[in-house]
Amino acid sequence: MKYTTDTDYISFLPRLRAGDYLTYGGLQWAVNDFSTYDDANGYEMMEWLIESHNSSYYLLREVDPDNPETNINWYLSEEIGINRISGEHVGDNVQFSLWETIQSQQQPYPKLRALGRLYYFESETKGIYKSENGDQPRTTWDYWDEDHLWNLAIEAWQDRELHVYSTKKVSPEDFAIAEKSSNSESLVSLTYSKSNTIKKDRTWEWICAWGLVIVGFILMMSGGR
């Protein structure tokens, strides 16, 4: 593989689709899914599922009209189990009522705790999630830590489906797109050519060997007479 040195991150990252590759953190990641999300207020989100070995994350591109000074933001998100979150105080088992609380449009919990951090409620978004499997409504509660570096997103879907994500801000400059190089293609072609040559040589060796056996057998029969 080879990696581009193109610094037009705004250009190449949004064009990523399933089947593409990119590098981040010294590893190569495969893009295995792409989807979008938006609401009536102009909020937009592009999501890419990226995987490497046994790790998987969502690369997110957010357009937030409520924050014009940072209109476009990039995040790296990892899904965590709902059992990892609690109320402000450890032991407050809010996770058992979260879906009903969100769907019934009740007042959001002002603070939640997860992964050793305390998060503060910031916003709620309601919109349509669009993917290859169709469009689905989704409601999201967003929480941020005190330094506004880590985000906790709680997504409520239909049929009592609930997902929780731990997210951190990233810079698009940390990513590079990976492309197939002509060297790797040439190597495959060369390997295939050598393999075919070996197979052909072995076939001729087999034919010659059997030819000698037959000739020897005929001579032996002729000598016996």
DSSP-assigned letters across all residues of 9-62: HHHHGGG--TT-EEEETTEEEEEEEEEEEE-TTS-EEEEEEEEETTEEEEEEEE
**128 and 99 in one domain?**
yes
How many domains is the chain built from?
Answer: 2
What are 156's two structure tokens?
């409520």
pLDDT at res. 212: 58
What DSSP character marks residue 216?
H
**185 and 87 in one domain?**
no
pLDDT at res. 41: 84
**153 and 195 in one domain?**
no
- Angle, alpha carbons 199-204-209 (nearest 5°): 125
Instruction: Please name every residue paired with 143 in a beta bridge, in sequence order, or none if there are none.
Output: 121, 152
**112 and 82 in one domain?**
yes
**134 and 36 in one domain?**
yes
pLDDT at res. 181: 42
Instruction: Please name every residue paired with 164 in a beta bridge, in sequence order, or none if there are none.
Output: 80, 154
The last residue of one of the domains, among 177, 196, 216, is: 177
C-alpha span between 83 and 79 (Å, rounded): 12
**187 and 169 in one domain?**
no
pLDDT at res. 218: 61
Q: Rounded to 5 degrees, what are φ and ψ at 84?
A: -85, -5
Decide if 190 contacts 196 (C-beta within 8 A): no
The last residue of one of the domains, among 139, 162, 177, is: 177
**194 and 162 in one domain?**
no
Tens of each residue's pLDDT in the chain, 225 residues: 433 334 445 568 899 999 999 999 999 999 999 999 888 888 899 999 999 988 999 999 999 887 766 678 899 999 999 999 999 887 788 888 899 999 888 999 999 999 999 999 999 988 888 887 788 889 999 999 999 989 999 999 988 899 999 999 999 999 998 865 433 333 333 333 434 444 445 555 556 555 555 655 565 656 555
pLDDT at res. 47: 94
Enclosing domain of residue 197: 181-224
**195 and 137 in one domain?**
no
**93 and 200 in one domain?**
no
Decide if 125 contacts 141 (C-beta within 8 A): no
**187 and 173 in one domain?**
no
pTM of structure: 0.66
